[in-house]
Each structure stands twice: as structure tokens, then as C-alpha cells.
Amino acid sequence: MVGKLIAGLIFPCLLVILFTRVTYNHIVGTLLALALISVSAYKGYTHSWPLIIIDGISLTVGFWYSRRMVKKFKKQQ
């Protein structure tokens, strides 16, 4: 269970950042990561409410960081 909590803290944030780097749009990156996490929850890999809340917090942090990253990228151009 501890491994799932740590993965829940790290992987959603990294997914948002990765998808944002690929698409150059933080909203699309967040939606793609949210869709991927929703499918995994539907398949039964998310077993408890605390894990869902941690995934949401990690998605929020990833969205915040990717938004900052996109603004910085647009400012450089």
C-alpha cells in the first residue's frame, strides 16, 4: 500500500509534465493524464479514497508546474 501511495504522489505529476512537453499545452496534458488515471481506476488499480485524493493532489501540482513551464516557454519566444 505504501508503494501505491508513493507512486500516486509521483506518477500523475510526471504524466502531466510529460504530456505537456509533448503537446505544448498544459490543459491537453492534464486531460490526457486524467484520462489515463481514470482508466486505471476503472480497471481496479485504485482501491481506496486516500489514493484517489493523492492522485488528485499530484495532478494539481503537475498542472501548476506545467502551466508555469508553458508560460516560461512562450515568454522565451
- Average confidence (pLDDT) over 15-27: 94
Residue 6 pLDDT level (bands cut at 50, 70, 90): very high
**Can you tell me whether residue 76 is helix, strand or coil?**
helix
Residue 44 pLDDT level (bands cut at 50, 70, 90): confident
Amino acid at position 49, single letter = W
- Rama region for 17: left / alpha / beta (φ>0; ψ in -120 to 50; rest): alpha
* Cα separation, 52 vs 59, whole angstroms: 11
Full domain range(s) for residue 28: 2-76
- Count structural domains, the chain: 1
Cβ atoms of 33 and 10 closer than 8 Å: no
* Cα separation, 35 vs 31, whole angstroms: 6
* Cα separation, 34 vs 51, whole angstroms: 14
DSSP state of 44: T
pTM of the model: 0.88
